[in-house]
Amino acid sequence: MNYHNFYQQSILTRGKFWGRKAAKIAWYKAPKTVLTLDKKGYYKWYEDGVLNTCYLAVDRHVKEGMGDHDALIYDSPVTNTIRKYTYDEVLDRVSKIAGALVSLGVQKGDTVIIYMPMVPDAAFSMLACARIGAVHSVVFGGFAPHELAIRIDDAKPKVIISASCGIEFEKIIPYKPLLDQALKEATFKPDACMIYQRHMLKADMKKGFDHDYEEIVSKSAPAACVKVKATDPLYILYTSGTTGKPKGIVRDNGGHAVAMQFSMDYVYNVHKGEVFWAASDVGWVVGHSYIVYAPLIAGCTTVFFEGKPVRTPDPGTFWRAIEQHKVNIFFTAPTAFRAIRKEDPNADLLKKYDISSLRTIFVAGERCDPPTLRWLQEITGKPIIDHWWQTETGWSIVANMMGVEQFPVKEGSATKPVSGFEVEILDEAGEKLGPNHEGYVCVKLPLPPGCLPTLWNDDERFEDSYMDKFPGYYLTGDGGYIDPDGYVFIMGRIDDVINVSGHRLSTGEMEEIVSGHEAIAECAVIGIEDELTGQKPLGLIVLKDNAEQSSEGIEKDLVALVRAKVGAVASFKTVVTVKRLPKTRSGKILRKTMRMIADDKSFQVPSTIDDPAILEEIKEILVSHKIGLVSKKQF
């Protein structure tokens, strides 16, 4: 199949193209209209279509004779558990969970918050909500009470589904006290909670309000699928916002289902009966799209992994699971592979396992640095496909579309725009830039099916955040460029471009150079305030465990390297070695937060941070090295 022709069809003949793709899913009432514009000027996909997402993901496959095929494999190295669920078993479980929600008064259009660890019933609860037309909002398990309270007040759930605990490596994290504190703080009060009791820790229950999950599910009559409109919301997923208040990304039912099926066919090139594994968490968009919905809608087997890339029990756990479950397509964040590479730089543990079932490895969540890309290519011999997308879009904006035409990989690029995404690079005035000119990465409207139609109860913020800066375009918030071959290079968030003595420089470019040093496991380059130049770059590096050279020597090497490749104009003079970098639980490095620490500005500790103590470590290092404005005040 020719990519250019296929892509152009999706842009020039949107109605016909996406109408044909909609025919690949099972509708109760197939849409006659494909794309419409409402009175607010918002685009709607398949407005007159009627369907049910749970039916597509579960019931449909049972009816088509796949009931005895594995739908979900639960692999939990932290509990030493492997459990397989067939489509028949998932249908039975999901129907009864849906029945339990109905017994608690949940109806079509109501919201339900799911605050659970990576246990199969987190996925089953999502599907149960979809089954009865309820809108679910999954909150990452273990989020702080304040952050959960904010989401409770915004989503206003009728019921909250939670668990007694989660597990981080060997540590048990009690969830119920966190939930109870959030409920105290929240203004809105739900009608009830369903608590999934795990054997390693039983939660205290509030009589009449808390319901034992297993008990109420076992007693409930199965609930049937409820018909919903294509434009009805399937879920809300909160993402961080600049104001401190999270943004509730809305996903509709119809466009989402079409996009999920399309992406499995044409981006991942994986088909019914094959095994797909996205190593993420249901609390993130990757978990929604590619642990739960897309694999099941496509009739695949999805791997549901409760663990980490390292220490559960070792850096070979991914390779072990790929061999054991005969995974065909694997997807995770580059940070996971950097963690593996740091502890097992020669990939000795990979040699213990047979990963011949694996066709392709996909990475996303952040730009894949070239050293990690090259390392993965070398040790696996598999295609390594970097693709770029956002919580807002729900699926990839830019990718090497493996089910259409495979292009040669260019380091640092996620390859070319995916069908339906008309990607353009704009300057500050909104003018389109030519090849190799860096600017704002935008998508010309309309966005394809599956992308956010708006924010939950906040149209004004939706327009302000994404639509107002460049009318007719969706602002991604990232900067980058497109080369003469049409490859898209994402260089980082717009605020990662720094101004040094009037020169606009990309910290992403410097980071790429730094990460290329053989001793570097991970790095971040941030722009910090400087009295003389306005801003200057600061490099923070984490060394590999087997690094032979001293940290001082490596730091000097890196300064010389950036000077040689970017020039003296970069003013890259400061590099410090740290034990670890602050990250979100999904693996993104918190560059903006580190910049605010260095600039001695007040900031909110991000709710998504993996370990808040790292921020204090960074602050101490900056002060001790007399770096940034923070070092000029007493720590």
Same domain, 111 and 241: yes
- This prediction's pTM: 0.86
Q: What is the structure's pLDDT at 173?
A: 93
CA separation for the pair 204, 218 (Å, rounded):
20
Q: What is the DSSP letter of 455?
A: B
Whether 134 and 89 share a structural domain? yes
Flag whether 152 is in a domain.
yes
Cα-Cα-Cα-Cα dihedral sign, residues 580, 478, 144, 283: negative
CA-closest candidate to residue 298, choices 25, 69, 94, 88 = 25
Of 427, 367, 331, 421, nearest to 18 (Cα)? 421
Domain-ending residue, one of 480, 512, 535: 480
- Residues 626, 586, single domain; the answer is yes
Same domain, 424 and 275: yes
Whether 433 and 575 share a structural domain: no
Chain-centroid distance, C-alpha 311? 22
Q: Are residues 467 and 505 in the same domain?
A: no
Report the domain count for the chain: 2
H or E segment to which residue 615 belongs: helix 613-624
Same domain, 55 and 188: yes
Residue 144 belongs to some domain of the structure: yes
CATH number at residue 520: 3.30.300.30
Whole-angstrom distance, CA of residue 473 vs CA of residue 463: 11
Determine contact, residues 337/384, Cβ cutoff 8 Å. no
Please tell me whether residues 466 and 605 are part of one structural domain. no
Does the residue 371 lie in any domain? no
Q: Which two tokens stand for residue 243?
A: 């104001």
| Judgement on whether residues 422 and 509 belong to the same structural domain of the protein | no
What is the C-alpha separation between 375 and 334, in angstroms, rounded? 11
Give CA–CA dist 6/19, Å, rounded. 14
> Are both 177 and 283 inside the same structural domain?
yes
Shortest CA distance to 326 belongs to which of 276, 267, 377?
A: 276
Enclosing domain of residue 513: 501-632
Of 480, 509, 529, which closes a domain?
Answer: 480
Query: Are 305 and 319 in contact, with CB atoms under 8 Å apart?
Result: no
Q: How far apart are CA 508 and CA 491, in angstroms?
A: 5
Who's near 331: CB < 8 A, 6+ residues apart? 268, 276, 277, 278, 279, 280, 286, 290, 361, 362, 363, 364
Q: Are 474 and 580 in a shared domain? A: no
**Distance between CA atoms of residues 99 and 105, nearest Å:** 10
Domain annotation covers residue 362: no
Give the per-residue pLDDT at 635: 39
Q: Domain with 213 in it: what CATH number?
A: 3.40.50.12780
* Residue 516 DSSP one-character state: T
- Quote the pLDDT of residue 558: 94
Residue at 318 is within a domain: no
Query: Which of 138, 11, 120 is CA-nearest to residue 419?
Result: 11
Residue with tokens 């070239």: 370
Q: Which residues of the chain have pLDDT under 70?
A: 240-244, 495-497, 499, 501-504, 532, 633-635
CA gap 106, 51 in Å, rounded: 19
Q: Is residue 111 part of a domain?
A: yes
Integer CA distances (angstroms), 101 to 25, 118, 123, 148, 189, in order: 27, 20, 15, 21, 17
Q: What is the pLDDT of residue 501?
A: 63
Predicted pLDDT at 244: 55
Domain-located, residue 324: no
181 and 211 in a common domain: yes
Tokens of residue 518, six digits: 């053989």
Asked if the structure places residue 620 within a domain, the reply is: yes
pLDDT of the residue at 185: 95
